[in-house]
Structure 1
Amino acid sequence: MDQIVGRVAELQELERSWQKAQQGEPQLVVLWGRRRVGKTYLLTHFAEGRRAVYFTATRQDSEDRQLARFAGSVAEQLGEDVADLIGGSFSDWEAALRFVLRISVEQPLLVVLDEVPRLLTGRADFADLLSAVWEARSRDSRILLALTGSAVSVMEQMLGPDGGLHRRPTVERRLDPFSFADARAFQPALPAADYVQAYAACGGYPLHLQRWDPALTPAENLQHLAFEPGGMLLRDAMDILSEDLDWRGGYERVLAALGSGVRRRSRIASRAQQRIDYTLDRLRRAGYVRAARPLGAPATADPLYEIADPYLSYWFSVLREDADLVEGGQGQAVRHRVEGRWQSHVARVFEEAARDHAVRLARSGELPIGIAVGRWWRDEVAEVDVLGLLDDQTRLLGEAKWRDGGPTSRDQHVLAGKLAYLPPAHPELEQVFWTRAGKSSATAKLRHYTAEDML
């Protein structure tokens, strides 16, 4: 079995569940997350060498068609003896579920139902039905039944207090795109500054990162993946979002407004030309959008909103407006025209990576335990990329600059000037700078980290 990258904790959790299933403790596992995060790869990898059925539901199929395909998958993957027991197809999903529970009594069985939300088209009460069958029939089986879904909001509704699967699963795990540091595993040899750009374009999606060619420059990779007709980064955003969002809700318009740089609720609504309360809340709960407040601000403070996913932010802020031109063969011209937008996007991703690095420094003990890390701003007055508060005092004052070289005396002077707007300085206040490259250094009051240090 090939080594899996990045999902070690999830794979170990599946292994533990399989051991319990083998011992007669039936396991209902639910894994969900948007497309391209690696759910299918994880489960197909886990299924290798095991007695298993892997079934992927399809869009817009009737219940009869889904059942016929499921019966075919069971027969094909478990062999002729099981095929003879099926006798063609199943009359309904209750019969299908009862069948796989029955044939797992004597031999352990892994059953994966991939993209379960698609089954709701033909059977709206599928979650309630599965829950009832599981409660009544699973006791004597040695089964691991794994459910997956890319429609994040639908899966979380199924698992919520009013959902059919509430408190039924033995394991519930949401898979999100990889973080800046964790995604490094997919491009371990890429120079650090190039990796920052790869992550800014690809986000934490394994398939995107694996298509990034280390032998090419960032510009060459972008040309191939984003600025040629059919390029993966050009087309994938809509595929990811369409699995989870009904475009009649105006989600694309809200994301487009955010991509244009609009961040306040009232201005987002004005740009999108619609009411946005429900739309924005659903985007936030699904992890596509986040609400940001200055570190130390009360929870009641009005937030700014931004696209949380680096790849989707890249698509909406850099690619979306000119996607038709790229598909028409003008990608090279578009790439040169949007270079400024691309560099601004990379700088924002680099800032976020710097904050993440500061959090990791605190976890490792290189910064004091108890320090709270975030960003801070006061409209039209001052902004701090990385602020660290300790005991209501400013302990860390940081700035991320997407450039080569260390901090200049002017950089330090400008950053220190922002202390006038912040909580009082801690006696051990440090200034911290992150830059793309250069010679990292540290003194009693000043630290400098490069992209290489961050990784």
Structure 2
Amino acid sequence: MFIDRKAELELLSQRYNSGQAELIVLYGRRRVGKTELLRAFCADKPHIFFIATLSNDIEQLATFSQQLYIFTHASVPVDFSFPSWEAAFQALAEIPMQPRPVIILDEFTYLINGNKAVPSILQKVWDETLKDTGILLVLCGSYIGMMESEVLGYQAPLYGRRTASTLLRPLDLPSAAQFFPNYSPEQQFLAWSILGGMPYYLGIFKDHQDIPANIRQNILDSQMGALFNEPRLLLMEELREPRNYFSILRAIALGNARLNEVAQASGVREVTAAARYLDILQQMRLVTRQVPATESQPDKSKKGLYRIDDHFLRFWFRYVQPNQAGLDLGLADAILQQRILPDLDHFAATAFEEAAQAYVARLAQNGKMAFLPERIGGWWDRETEIDVLAISRMEKAAWVGECKWSIRPVGTNVLDELKQKAQSLLKSGEIQKIQYAIFARSAFTPALESQARFECVGLYTVDMLLKG
């Protein structure tokens, strides 16, 4: 199932129609849908779609050579291979340029692992020949850190050659919901809160089963669950010391958010060592460091809190990894009923705050806010926490929201409490105007609806967040 990616397809189409040579870098985490995006883009165009593997450099060159040869010939000689990567890349300039060809080198980092000189060779051929052709070349990779250092980095041979680059991110809530047309809005949200926006994960759940049944079958089943070992395999493939990273992620999933808390809870007792592991996890886009939206220098803020950015890893390290022994003993049903379902609403509340913040960002992008925010996020100090804060110091304005993932209708007391929290912002003098909003699971009391109309308070339910 291919959903959304309109902006990325539009970027690729614009570059395809540019009339000049294009070197595009597309990268992002595994399972995020890079290959499916590129297949959708080049489906109606002449193309070579080479997917690198972990095989040795000679085999990689031979496979690429044969794909390139068959592009312009009816058949390819057995064991044909160009003598070098330089010869193979030079041969790209000789293929027909009308209609314009698309050349995709997927999992480009595998080529680099097999031959460190590949980027330099490609840079040489690009400068000498390919930049003057009509080719559209896409370099695609899953190792984010390596793509940013070896392909996009200032010291990289290909630096300055790319004509476009994009980091493909997980699908947002409205797009993820489209995987489950038979679910109610609440079920669609819960599925997203568990799986996040990774298309592969979303495709595993089936909406002819309810959420608990999908969790039991696809995540908790140690023998047949398609997602049971997914995080373990992901981290073992990409990290040299997965054990320490597992401990770090588990510590965060269990509620330890500050650096010193993570270090102690994970057993990585040296704060400097824990910080190094966290930095790598941030580079992989698995963990994010949040600071209050009012912080003017986020990187230097001492109020940073760490959070697992990937919803499914957050779920797995909270419920699966700590219960590994019980799941191996066949206790999946008991673990689901006694440890997961009673806590699931509490788990989903964090994702609800994220969805609300993303919704406010879309309002700003669509010009539906009274001011242009400089930052959107949450806010906290030692005594108070605000779930959603959009702020503009220039206009001295703020948009303040509270999220309640509760079955009960939200009442006026929640608005009163939010106004009280906002006093901390007003006291600073940086904010003079505040607009209030409440995000609820499904409903509001008549009293709150009446007060909201009178005071122009925004009221939003989960089904509104799903509509984008």
Deviations along 1:105-146, whole A, 9 cap, x unmatched? 576432211101111232012111111111112145332221
User: Contact 2:426 / 2:432 at 8 angstroms: preserved in 1?
Assistant: no
1:338 to 337, 340, 358: 340
Match of residue 152 from structure 2:
159
User: Is it true that 1:320 corresponds to 2:321 in the alignment?
Assistant: yes
Does 1:451 pair with 2:453? no
Where 1:80 maps in the other structure, the secondary structure is coil
SS in 1 for 2:161: coil
The equivalent position to 1:438 in structure 2, one of 434, 438, 443, is 443
Aligned mate of 1:149, from 141, 144, 147: 141
On the 8 A contact 1:187/1:210 being kept in 2, the answer is no
Alpha-carbon distance between aligned partners in 1 of 2:364 and 2:112, rounded to the nearest angstrom: 45
- Distance 1:104-1:29 versus aligned 2 partners, 3 A rule: farther
Q: Secondary structure at the match of 2:419?
A: helix
- When residues 105 and 434 of structure 1 are mapped into structure 2, their CA distance, relative to the original with a 3 A threshold, is closer
Q: What residue in structure 2 maps to residue 198 of structure 1?
A: 191
SS of equivalent to 1:434: strand
State whether structure 2 residue 105 is matched by structure 1 residue 118.
no
CA positional deviation for 1:327: 4.9
Which residue pairs with 1:177 in the alignment? Answer: 170
* Cα separation, partners in 2 of 1:155 and 1:249, compared to 1, 3 Å: farther
Cα distance between partner residues in 1 of 2:243 and 2:203 = 33
1:168 matches 2:173? no
Alignment equivalent of 2:25, drawn from 22, 27, 30: 30
CA distance in 2, matches of 1:390, 1:135: 45
Q: What is the match of residue 401 of structure 1? A: 404
Distance across 2 between alignment mates of 1:437 and 1:68:
58
**Equivalent in 269, 272, 282 of residue 266 of structure 2:** 272
Q: CA deviation at 1:197?
A: 0.5
C-alpha contact 1:114 1:148 (8 A) present in aligned 2 = yes
Cα distance, 1:393 vs structure 2: 5.8
Q: In 2, Cα distance between the equivalents of 1:172 and 1:238?
A: 29
Q: Deviations over 1:12-69 (max 9, x none)?
A: 222233334xx4x22212111011111111112223243222111112x211111122
Contact 1:56 1:115 in 2 (8 A): yes
**SS of 2:8 mapped into structure 1:** helix
1:350 and 2:352 equivalent? yes
- After the TM superposition, which residues 126-137 of structure 1 pair with which residues of structure 2 at under 5 Å, given as runs? 126-137=118-129
- Secondary structure of the residue that 1:398 maps to in structure 2? strand
Q: Secondary structure at the match of 2:173?
A: coil
> Is 1:398–1:433's contact at 8 Å kept on the other side of the alignment?
yes
Q: CA offset at residue 164 of structure 1? A: 1.9
Q: CA deviation at 1:273?
A: 3.2
What's the offset of the Cα at 1:162? Answer: 0.8
Query: 1 CA distance for matches of 2:390 and 2:48?
Result: 50
2:202 is the alignment partner of 1:209 = yes
Tell me the residue number matched to 1:417. 420
Q: Residue 363 and residue 43 in structure 1: after superposition, are their counterparts in 2 closer, same or farther (change >3 A)?
A: closer
In structure 2, C-alpha distance between the alignment counterparts of 1:54 and 1:294, rounded to whole Å: 44
Query: What is the alpha-carbon distance in structure 2 between the residues aligned to residue 233 and residue 144 of structure 1?
Result: 36
Name the % identity.
27
The residue that corresponds to 2:219 in the other structure is 226
Please give the TM-score of this superposition, normalised by the length of structure 2: 0.86
Q: Contact between 2:72 and 2:95, CA under 8 Å: does it hold in 1?
A: no
* CA drift at 1:338: 2.6
Measure the CA separation in 1 of the matches of 2:188 and 2:418. Answer: 27
Alignment-mate amino acid for residue 190 of structure 2: Q
Greater displacement, 146-155 / 301-310: 301-310
Shift of 1:4: 4.6
Distance change (3 Å), C-alpha of 1:71 and 1:314: same
Q: Check conservation: 2:397, 2:432, Cα contact below 8 A.
A: no
Cα 1:361/1:139, change in 2 over 3 Å: closer
Measured in 1, the distance between the counterparts of 2:296 and 2:408 equals: 37
| Pair 1:95-2:58 in alignment | no
Counterpart contact for 1:202–1:208, Cα < 8 Å: yes
Task: Return closer, same or farther for 1:155/1:421 CA change in 2, 3 Å cut-off.
Answer: same
CA positional deviation for 1:204: 0.5
> Letter of the aligned partner of 1:201 in structure 2?
I
Q: Does the alignment pair 1:359 with 2:398? A: no
Structure 1 residues 28 and 359, CA gap change in structure 2 (3 angstroms): closer
Task: Identify if the C-alpha distance between structure 1 residues 368 and 107 changes in structure 2 by more than 3 Å, giving closer, same or farther.
Answer: closer
Other structure's SS at 1:443 match: helix
- The amino acid that maps onto 1:416 is K
Specify the alignment match of 2:37 in structure 1. 42
CA contact (8 A) 1:71 1:89 kept: yes
CA separation of 1:249 and 1:185: change in aligned 2, threshold 3 A: same
- Partner secondary structure for residue 316 of structure 1: helix
Deviations 1:226-262 (A, max 9, x none): 1223423323223444454333693333222211211
Whole-angstrom CA distance in 1 between matches of 2:69 and 2:327: 45
CA distance, structure 1, for counterparts of residue 418 and residue 131 of structure 2: 63
Secondary structure at the aligned position of 1:102 is classed as coil
Q: Distance in 1 between matches of 2:364 and 2:45?
A: 42
Q: Which moved more, 1:424-433 or 1:246-255?
A: 424-433
Aligned CA distance change for structure 1 residues 88 and 265 (closer, same or farther; 3 Å): same
Inter-partner Cα distance in structure 1 for 2:378 and 2:283? 21
**C-alpha separation between the residues in 2 aligned to 1:388 and 1:47?**
39
* CA pair 171-388 structure 1, distance change in 2 beyond 3 A: closer
Q: What RMSD in Å do the two structures reach over aligned CA positions? A: 2.7
**Whole-Å separation in 2 of the counterparts to 1:278 and 1:377:** 25
Residue-by-residue CA offset, 1:265-292 (whole Å, 9 max, x unaligned): 1222223333123322222233221111
| Cα distance in 1 for residues equivalent to 2:137 and 2:107 | 13
Counterpart-to-counterpart distance in 2, 1:365 and 1:444: 23
Number of equivalences: 446
Q: Tell me which of 349, 374, 379 is aligned to 1:376.
A: 379
Secondary structure class of the residue paired with 2:331: helix
Following the alignment from structure 1 to structure 2, what is the Cα–Cα distance between the partners of residues 389 and 413? 20
Unpaired runs of 5+ in structure 1?
none
Aligned with 1:338: secondary structure? helix
CA change 1:100–1:393 in 2 (3 A) is closer
Give the aligned partner of residue 64 of structure 1.
58
C-alpha separation in 2, matches of 1:398 and 1:246: 41
Q: Which runs of 5+ in 2 are unaligned?
A: none
> Alpha carbons of 1:104 and 1:326: their partners in 2 closer, same or farther (altered >3 Å)?
farther
